[in-house]
């Protein structure tokens, strides 16, 4: 007989409790950011991706197993047809404490108030520069003003603790870190700086040469701002500082310079239904196969999720100075 899954079952071999799931609901995107994708990406055919109903079933199973926070991401989550409905349904799952999303901001002018109604609690928006030409160069297809208007729409819709995510690359946008923090302060939002991770072959730049560490960013910021270390965590990998005299927090996500694996509480579900146990390793379990082989059998699904915890690796093995060993791109991974 299958053992009944217990609600506190998601604990890995290293004693880490997994209570945070990131779901990539599409690999597609209207941008082609240079650190995330190759210019000529091909996307998955529909038959290979989870249906919206399957995503919902999986989300329910995870929450029944103790997951408290779900981040919906992609690709660009808001370009998937039916995304709002899906978010509303996930937001209603009993036991889920926090539904949040990460978006490139391109759809927010039209969708911010509907997102508020759907039960999404917080929004992270990617913004690497305030210079329209550089924005175009980094995203290849994006329009800065659309995203800035999107951020205003999010404020107007009443969202709190909105956060900007900025990936900093040397000689592309590293001179803009002070302007980005000033923008966050002016708009009373938070900001996290992310060190680029070597996922997939992106082609346009050498990741080793473009590496700009969190320590360098912090040194740049200290010329203009006073950053006070904060013990606050949001359940993610950021280390936070408060900008003195303001409401703004500045976070650093530093996979290379400050390994955050010992407190890892997350797993990721790709749009193909692969449960990734670690961002920087290929250990995974095919949950779509379980879903489609045993339709309606939630216990089978939950047992597969519990068993997957046994292969969660201790830490990622990123090395920015070598060719990526992870050929999966970030849009497939669900950042
Ligand atoms: N499209 C949405 C967006 O851009 O916010 C959600 C998906 S995107 C993959 C999620 C986050 O991953 C973004 O903040 C993006 O900047 C970041 N990202 C993408 N590729 C990355 C890489 N190679 N290293 C570090 N962060 C990356
Ligand atoms: Fe699209 Fe986000 Fe990747 Fe940029 S980072 S290409 S917006 S998925």
Q: What is the DSSP string of 73-135?
A: ESS-GGGSTTHHHHHHHHHTSTT--EEEEEE-STTHHHHHHHHHHHT--EEEEE---S-HHHH
Query: Cα(24) to centroid of ligand 1, in Å?
Result: 11
In a domain, 3, yes or no: no
d(CA 313, CA 263): 12
Query: Cα(219) to centroid of ligand 2, in Å?
Result: 27
In a domain, 4, yes or no: no
Query: Cα(334) to centroid of ligand 1, in Å?
Result: 8
Per-residue pLDDT at 53 exceeds 50: yes
Per-residue pLDDT at 175 exceeds 60: yes
Pocket test for ligand 2, best of 22, 26, 34, 36 (most atoms within 8 A of CB): 36
Which ligand approaches the C-alpha of residue 139 most closely? 2
104 within ligand 1 shell (Cβ under 6 A): yes
Per-residue pLDDT at 3 exceeds 60: no
Lowest-confidence segment of 78-92, 228-242, 246-260, 285-299 by average pLDDT? 228-242
Query: Cα(330) to centroid of ligand 1, in Å?
Result: 6
Look at the block and give the residue holding tokens 């924005």: 135
202 within ligand 1 shell (Cβ under 6 A): no
Range of the domain at 133: 10-333
In a domain, 1, yes or no: no
In a domain, 224, yes or no: yes
In a domain, 123, yes or no: yes
251 within ligand 1 shell (Cβ under 6 A): no
Band (pLDDT 50/70/90 cuts) for residue 280 is: confident
Per-residue pLDDT at 205 exceeds 80: no
Atom of ligand 2 nearest to the CA of 75: 8
Nearest-10 crossing angle of helices 177-186, 214-222: 70
Burial letters for 122-157: b for 16+ Cβ neighbours within 10 Å, e otherwise?
Answer: bbbbbbbbeeeebbeebbeebbbebbbebbebbeeb
In a domain, 313, yes or no: yes
Nearest-10 crossing angle of helices 144-156, 108-118: 30
The total of other beta-carbon atoms located within 10 Å of residue 197's CB is 23
Mean pLDDT across the stretch 239-248? Answer: 94
d(CA 115, CA 54): 21
In a domain, 215, yes or no: yes
Per-residue pLDDT at 200 exceeds 80: no
138 within ligand 2 shell (Cβ under 6 A): no
Task: Locate 280 and state its tokens.
Answer: 């920087």
CATH classification of the domain holding 190: 3.20.20.70
Query: For residue 196, what pLDDT is reported?
Result: 86
In a domain, 196, yes or no: yes
Beta strands per DSSP E along the chain? 20-24, 69-73, 98-103, 122-126, 163-167, 190-194, 227-229, 239-243, 249-253, 266-269, 274-276, 284-286
31 within ligand 2 shell (Cβ under 6 A): yes
Query: Cα(229) to centroid of ligand 1, in Å?
Result: 25
In the chain, the percentage of residues whose pLDDT exceeds 70 is 88
Query: Cα(165) to centroid of ligand 1, in Å?
Result: 8
220 within ligand 1 shell (Cβ under 6 A): no
Mean pLDDT across the stretch 296-315? Answer: 93
Q: Are the CB atoms for 108 and 76 separated by under 8 Å?
A: no
* Residue located nearest, by CA, to atom 13 of ligand 1: 126
Per-residue pLDDT at 132 exceeds 70: yes
209 or 61, greater pLDDT: 61
What's the whole-number average pLDDT of the chain? 90
Sheet with 227-229, edge to edge strand ranges = 227-229, 239-243, 249-253, 190-194, 163-167, 122-126, 98-103, 69-73, 20-24, 266-269, 274-276, 284-286
Band (pLDDT 50/70/90 cuts) for residue 172 is: very high
Atom of ligand 2 nearest to the CA of 37: 6
| Number of domains the chain is built from | 1
80 within ligand 2 shell (Cβ under 6 A): no
């Amino acid at each position: 007989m299958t053992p009944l899954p217990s609600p506190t079952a998601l604990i890995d071999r290293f004693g880490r409790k997994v209570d945070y799931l990131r779901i990539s609901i599409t690999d597609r995107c209207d941008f082609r950011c240079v650190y995330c994708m190759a210019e000529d990406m091909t996307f998955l055919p529909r038959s290979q991706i989870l249906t919206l109903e399957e995503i919902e079933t999986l989300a329910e199973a995870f929450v029944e197993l103790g997951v408290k926070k779900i981040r919906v991401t992609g690709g660009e989550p808001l370009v998937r047809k039916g995304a709002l409905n899906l978010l509303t349904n996930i937001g209603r799952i009993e036991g889920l404490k926090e539904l949040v999303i990460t978006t490139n901001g391109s759809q927010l002018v039209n969708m911010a108030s509907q997102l508020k109604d759907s039960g999404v609690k917080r929004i992270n928006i990617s913004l690497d520069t305030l210079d329209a030409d550089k924005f175009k160069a980094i995203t290849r297809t994006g329009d800065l003003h659309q995203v800035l208007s999107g951020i205003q729409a999010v404020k107007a819709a009443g969202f709190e603790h909105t956060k900007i995510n900025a990936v900093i690359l040397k000689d592309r946008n590293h001179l803009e870190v002070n302007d980005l923090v000033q923008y966050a302060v002016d708009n009373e939002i938070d900001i996290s700086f992310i060190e680029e991770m070597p996922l997939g072959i992106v082609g346009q730049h050498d990741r080793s040469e473009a590496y700009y560490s969190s320590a360098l960013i912090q040194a740049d910021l200290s010329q203009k701002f006073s950053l006070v270390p904060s013990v606050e965590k949001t359940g993610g990998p950021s280390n936070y500082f408060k900008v003195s005299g303001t409401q703004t927090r500045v976070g650093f996500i530093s996979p290379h310079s400050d390994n955050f694996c010992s407190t890892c509480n997350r797993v990721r579900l790709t749009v193909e239904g692969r449960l990734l146990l670690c961002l920087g390793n290929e250990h995974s379990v095919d949950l779509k196969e379980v879903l489609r082989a045993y339709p309606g059998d939630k216990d089978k699904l939950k047992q597969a999720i519990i068993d997957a915890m046994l292969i969660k690796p201790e830490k990622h093995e990123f090395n920015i100075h070598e060719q990526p060993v992870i050929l999966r791109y970030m849009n497939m991974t669900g950042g």
